[in-house]
């Protein structure tokens, strides 16, 4: 059985092409089922950054053509940007995808869940089931053993991580939004997904009084107005602090020009971050992710090797099974011949003879079995299997 991958991703195709072949879950499931109609196995991984078809079939060329045709039927212009990988290279690619190493942001965590769903919706058999399970295992291992997914990879995620650094759990924490730019909305959404609540979205028409009242209550202020000057002076915040009785206040200024007075950072219990601070944090965390990616690649390589050994051993498994069957056949035949002698033995002595002969066969075949599996992993498996069939006359009776 051969493993084939045909697909494209953000590395090879712009969004105009990717959107032609982007599939929802039902469509991906239907496409995989259609490809698997001719006795093949098929899984479709489709996310906003990639659409990939993994097919397991005896004939790699034919499977590749069928997968490419299936994708081309969705978007005729897609053909030139399709990549095609086979066996070890295809598995390596899938393992990297599951580990987040092929993502736009290295270590991105969503992809692992998307690969798991694709596996569940696919039409799998022994090969695809194995390669997807092992890819998911590799993805989990990378996340557990490296820090690749721990740090925030966007300004909005960095703002949320800073809020957690100050407050711990964000449950029941309140947010004041000054202005509503795209990034501040994302940051607020990120905070809300962690349990915080937006108490006021202030715009140019909001009364200053109302903002000052809220300043005494809220935990996080996110500012991103288009105002030409400062929206919050340090003196205003200092006044609000008196009513806060020592409660901490995190202020995120995403506006250019800045909305929040930089002197706020000198006030006790106030933590102020502007857009430059957040961008520097993101640059730093992305470089950390890239460093961790090297360790992740090593983990992936080990897992791919394990899969490759298993996959390669499939070539020699029939020969090993035939060899063992032949040996067992001979052993039983010889015991039958010796029946006249063995008949005099009592039950325990007969069992001992059975055990000794079985052990001799096992010991004799152990090393050839191991060597054949090793040879299979080194791509000589088919040659060795043929040699064993020839030397021991395996399969000749059937011919």
Partner 1 sequence: MAELLFWPALLLYGEAAIGYFGDMRHPGRAGRIATWGVRLGWLLQTALLGVQAARDDGFPWGTWASSLDLFVWLVVSAYLIWGCRRPYRLLGLVVMPLAVALLAVARAGGGTGIGSASHYSNLFLVVHVVLVLAAFAGFTLAAALSGLYVWEERRLQTRPATILRRQMPALATLDSLALRTVAWSVPLLTLGAAVGLGRLVVRGDRLDALIAVTAATWLVWCAYLGLRLFGGWTGRRAAYLALAGFALVVVVRLALPATHFA
Residues annotated as part of the active site: 48
Task: Rule CB under 8 A: say whether 263 interacts with partner 1.
Answer: no
Among 200, 288, 353, 377, binds partner 1 (CB under 8 A): 288
Near partner 1 in 166-195, by CB under 8 A: 166-168
248 binds partner 1 (CB under 8 A): yes
Selection from 266, 161, 166 nearest residue 219 by Cα: 166
Stretch that binds partner 1, among 86-94, 119-127, 158-166, 181-189 (CB under 8 A): 158-166
Q: Closest Cα to residue 44, out of 2, 15, 6, 9?
A: 6
List 235, 283, 302, 352, residue binding partner 1 (CB under 8 A): 283
CB 38 within 8 A of CB 62: no
Token pair for residue 99? 């580990």
Residue with Cβ nearer partner 1 (166 or 198): 166
Phi-psi region of 100 (alpha: psi -120 to 50; beta: other; left: phi over 0): left
Cis (ω within 30 of 0) for the bond into 238?
Answer: no
Task: Give 168 or 228: the residue with its C-beta nearer to partner 1.
Answer: 168
Distance CA 277, CA 279 (A): 6
Within residues 129-148, the interface with partner 1 by CB under 8 A covers 147
Answer yes or no whether residue 268 interacts with partner 1 by CB under 8 A.
yes
Instruction: Report if residue 216 touches partner 1, rule: CB under 8 A.
Output: no
The span from the CA of 219 to the CA of 217, in Å, is 7
Window of 38-46, 274-282, 301-309, 318-326 that interacts with partner 1 by CB under 8 A: 274-282
Spatial contact of 122 and 32, defined as CB atoms under 8 Å apart: yes
* Rounded-to-integer distance, Cα 307 and Cα 138, Å: 11
- CB 273, min distance to partner 1, A: 6
**251 touching partner 1, by CB under 8 A:** no
Q: CB nearer to partner 1: give 156 or 285.
A: 285
Please say whether the dihedral angle defined by the alpha carbons of residues 102, 104, 110 and 114, taken in this order, is positive or negative: negative
Point out which residues bind partner 1 (CB under 8 A). Answer: 147, 150-152, 158, 161-162, 164-168, 245-248, 265, 268-269, 271, 273, 277, 280-281, 283-285, 288
């Amino acid at each position: 059985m051969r493993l084939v991958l045909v697909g494209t991703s953000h590395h090879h195709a712009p969004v105009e092409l990717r959107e032609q072949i982007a599939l929802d879950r039902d469509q991906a499931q239907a496409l995989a089922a259609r490809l698997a109609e001719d006795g093949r196995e098929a899984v479709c991984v489709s996310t906003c950054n990639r659409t990939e078809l993994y097919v397991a079939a005896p004939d790699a060329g034919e499977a590749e053509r069928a997968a490419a045709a299936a994708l081309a039927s969705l978007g005729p212009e897609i053909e030139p940007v399709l990549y095609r990988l086979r066996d070890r290279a295809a598995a390596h690619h899938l393992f990297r995808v599951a580990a987040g190493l092929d993502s736009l942001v290295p270590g991105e965590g969503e992809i692992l869940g998307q690969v798991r769903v694709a596996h569940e919706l696919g039409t799998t058999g022994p090969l695809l089931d194995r390669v997807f399970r092992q890819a998911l295992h590799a993805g989990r291992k990378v996340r557990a053993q490296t820090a690749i997914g721990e740090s925030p990879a966007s300004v909005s995620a960095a703002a949320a991580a800073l809020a957690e650094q100050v407050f711990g759990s964000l449950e029941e924490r309140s947010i004041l939004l000054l202005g509503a730019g795209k990034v501040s909305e994302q940051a607020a959404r990120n905070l809300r997904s962690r349990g915080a609540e937006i108490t006021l979205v202030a715009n140019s028409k909001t009364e200053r009084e109302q903002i000052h009242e809220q300043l005494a209550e809220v935990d996080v202020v996110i500012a991103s107005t288009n105002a030409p000057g400062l929206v919050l002076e340090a003196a205003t915040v200092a006044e609000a602090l008196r009513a806060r009785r020592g409660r901490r206040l995190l202020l995120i200024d995403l506006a250019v020009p800045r909305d929040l007075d930089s002197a706020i950072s000198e006030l006790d219990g106030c933590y102020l971050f502007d857009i430059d601070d957040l961008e520097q944090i993101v640059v730093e965390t992305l470089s950390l992710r890239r460093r961790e990616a090297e360790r992740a690649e090593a983990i992936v390589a080990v897992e791919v090797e394990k899969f490759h050994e298993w996959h390669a051993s499939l070539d020699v498994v029939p020969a090993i099974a035939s060899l063992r069957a032949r040996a067992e056949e001979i052993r039983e035949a010889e015991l039958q011949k010796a029946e006249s002698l063995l008949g005099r033995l009592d039950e325990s002595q007969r069992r001992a003879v059975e055990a000794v002969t079985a052990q001799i066969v096992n010991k004799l075949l152990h090393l050839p079995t191991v060597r054949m599996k090793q040879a299979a992993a080194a791509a000589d498996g088919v040659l060795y299997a043929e040699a064993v069939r020839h030397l021991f006359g395996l399969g000749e009776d059937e011919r």
